[in-house]
Structure 1
């Protein structure tokens, strides 16, 4: 009887030890699972952090790239503007050199188309235009208006008949620039008068009768042999 009880007690003890061992194993497993869960949670957090960092890094790179592109565009635009300004300046310099070297063509010549009698104070109108480069001579008024500032030369020529005289002047605005006495003998003599003038744009040049007569034929125009003319040319700007 005692032996059976002893055996029972030993089996009970062994079973309790087995149960304890299982409980210990379960505790260890639970601890391991907890540690794994903790590591897994840490891993997930690290993954989220890495994704957030990746997003932030991509945004930063994109912003830096845009800033870099903007900086390049601004530098290119500034370079382009500077280049254009430099070219414009060079073109202006070349234009100024061209203006100094080349003189604009301004020239005219006109003549009478018939015999006329003139009176003192009259502006002589030469209606037949031979050429008018620069379109500055007015055939209706007999006046030449300077299109540009510069040095000009003007010439007048008159043919008189029957021992008559004419005093005429080349006028700039209302100022005399030359005065010439024309005399006609029996051979219908032709004489000229000229002047050189430094003028500014907009001044008016004309031929004015300073002494003459409105009766009889004073100026003798013959299309074949005697031309009465007024001409001018820009010599230098």
Structure 2
């Protein structure tokens, strides 16, 4: 049997152990509470960070959308400017349209005759027809026409350059050089639509044969024209 002193010692040791265990239990509970508080605080911070990141992402997305919209608008303006420059370039380039024909088919001239020049010296645009003496404009624009006639001695002729709807130019040629023949030139300018026919037509003249001197090796009786500028 244990002595009274031994029993008392064991009781004190037991109480001490119980106290230590209780303190340890309380410490563990306090530690768990602090860890829980830290975890909750960390979760709150993480939620705040997630919300902040979400807002930042929304702002970045909005900025990117706005930038894309601005870029699309700039591309549209750039494309429109390119088209405008191309149109200006096309309008600035005047197509080469010109012709010259010579060699009258008839040396005499009666009122209302159409003068036909049977030889094409050149015809850029393929508008002149030697069989009819008519020139057809390939495009709308401002045209200049020239007629040169080798007038026989003492002869005269009123004539005009004309189309179906308008007189382009009226004039008269008269040889007053005595025994010498001479060429005379007239120029007319007109604004014409595409596919307009133009020709030279006599109005009134002196009578007789060989009104126009026919020797083409000395001088040409000729009809020519050139496109000065196009009209849109």
TM-score band, normalised by the shorter chain? 0.5 to 0.7
In angstroms, what is the RMSD of aligned CA positions? Answer: 4.7
Aligned to 1:123: 114
Greater Rg over alpha carbons, structure: 1
Tell me how far apart the structure 2 counterparts of residues 40 and 175 of structure 1 sit (CA, whole Å).
105
Aligned 8 A contact 1:170 1:194 in 2:
no
Q: CA deviation at 1:12?
A: 4.5
- Given the alignment, which residue of 167, 180, 201 partners 1:208? 201
Q: Deviations over 1:41-91 (max 9, x none)?
A: 3344445455555555555444444443444444445455556666776x5
1:180 aligned to 2:172?
yes
What is the Cα deviation at residue 209 of structure 1? 3.2
Match of 2:36 in 1: 41
Q: Is the contact made by 2:107 and 2:210 (CA closer than 8 Å) also made in structure 1?
A: yes
- The residue aligned with 2:19 is 24
User: Hey, what does 1:169 align to over in structure 2?
Assistant: 160
User: Cα offset for 1:207?
Assistant: 0.6
3-state DSSP of counterpart to 1:144? strand
Mark the runs of 5 or more structure 2 residues left unpaired by the alignment.
none
Task: State how 1:40-119 maps to structure 2 within 5 Å.
Answer: 40-79=35-74, 81-82=76-77, 91=85, 106-112=97-103, 114-115=105-106
**148, 154, 159: which one pairs with 2:146?**
154
Paired residues of 2:149 and 2:221 also in contact (CA < 8 A) = yes
C-alpha spacing 1:113/1:198, structure 2 compared with 1 (3 Å): closer
TM-score (norm 2): 0.64
Task: Tell me the SS of whatever aligns to 1:39.
Answer: helix
Give how far 1:131 is off.
3.1
Does the 8 Å CA contact 1:114/1:220 hold for their aligned counterparts? no
